[in-house]
A and B are shown apart, each in its own frame.
Chain A
């Protein structure tokens, strides 16, 4: 039954499953139990975590994986997942994951942290875990702000980016220069795979999913620490409308933090 909108467009029914059709994408991924969450409209973190969960499902690692979450907005989403989750102190997820992987080396252990958590609060944890070649996957959701605590600038905030305490845009003379975390980790010999993806459009989501699969493949092959940085939207922290956030990410954030595979020891 079609209806007509006030602007004259024809609307097709979209409230129930059609007959004689094949389901190609369900509401939530296999390993996401509950879709509902309290993150802001237009947030990129559920999209990124869904990509991680899809990667785990694809590799059949669902029943032997362990997630270690840091502290940030993304932590609020950890209870929605159908995987074992440990909660680390602020910035310490790679160290907690080190303990888990050393006791249970057969598991696929991964961490999910924001940029404030990994790069500001606990940069040394991930750098040393990488130098030790710990066989874990570290995922950093990079939106350039401390989203959970109010949207302050982090070390990955790009020059000119507006945040709560760089309201005129980040200025190198006043606030320092941004750090490129993936590039730093790619130079460390203990890493097996380092890449940077984004979730600002469907193409980049698909690309990021492939990076996640490669990262867990490297982990399963024992190649050392795998690192995937995922650029996510934070329209609330960036002071941009939700529909402009993907373009803002592409033009501003991705200009400093270039998307691509930086290191791969995979055969």
Chain B
């Protein structure tokens, strides 16, 4: 079975975000992307989590608005388009 290994994940407080984009460049696996079609209630674009997070916590370290909570899975999971996150 093929699939992409996922080691971690983040919880994003989208309402706290001020759309500064710092997390996008800080994310080494490149799994954060700013929204293109919607904003939070204050009118800022915010980051969304794509597939491939490693739980490295770089986003939490550079976020000036404390938007990230970082988790590492107890045992890596895999993601595939057919089966989703397993």
For the complex, what is the distance from the CA of A7 to the CA of B34, rounded to whole Å? Answer: 11
List of A residues within 8 angstroms of B72 by Cβ: 21-22, 24
List of A residues within 8 angstroms of B12 by Cβ: 14-15
List of A residues within 8 angstroms of B66 by Cβ: 27-28, 32, 35-36, 46, 50
Q: Are A17 and B69 in contact (CB under 8 A)?
A: yes
In the complex, what's the smallest C-beta–C-beta distance from B9 to chain A, in angstroms? 5
In the complex, what's the smallest C-beta–C-beta distance from A201 to chain B, in angstroms? 6
Is residue A10 contacting chain B, with contact meaning CB distance below 8 A?
A: yes
Q: Which of B21, B63, B71 contacts A17 (CB 8 A)?
A: B71
List of A residues within 8 angstroms of B61 by Cβ: 25, 47, 202, 205-206
The B interface is mostly helix, strand or loop, or mixed, namely mixed
Q: Mark A12-50, 1 if CB is under 8 A from B, else 0.
A: 111111101111111110001001110111111111001
Q: Mark B45-86, 1 if CB is under 8 A from A, else 0.
A: 000111101011110111111111111111100010100110
List of A residues within 8 angstroms of B51 by Cβ: 10, 12
- Known contacts A14-B48, A24-B55, A32-B66: A6-B10 contact under CB 8 Å: no
In the complex, what's the smallest C-beta–C-beta distance from B16 to chain A, in angstroms? 6
In the complex, what's the smallest C-beta–C-beta distance from B71 to chain A, in angstroms? 4
Q: Which of B8, B50, B60, B75 contacts A10 (CB 8 A)?
A: B50
Is residue A243 contacting chain B, with contact meaning CB distance below 8 A?
A: yes
Q: Are B24 and A20 in contact (CB under 8 A)?
A: no
Additional A-B contacts beyond A42-B21, A202-B56, A205-B61 (15; CB < 8 A): A2-B85, A7-B36, A10-B50, A11-B48, A18-B9, A20-B74, A25-B60, A25-B70, A44-B64, A45-B64, A46-B66, A199-B62, A202-B62, A242-B19, A246-B25
Q: Can you offer 29 A-B residue contacts whose CB atoms are under 8 A?
A: A2-B85, A5-B33, A5-B35, A6-B36, A10-B51, A11-B49, A12-B79, A13-B49, A14-B48, A15-B11, A15-B12, A17-B11, A17-B71, A20-B73, A21-B71, A23-B70, A25-B61, A27-B60, A27-B68, A35-B13, A39-B64, A41-B18, A41-B20, A42-B22, A47-B64, A50-B66, A201-B25, A202-B56, A246-B25
Leading 4 A-B pairs by shortest Cβ distance: A35-B66, A42-B20, A243-B21, A41-B18
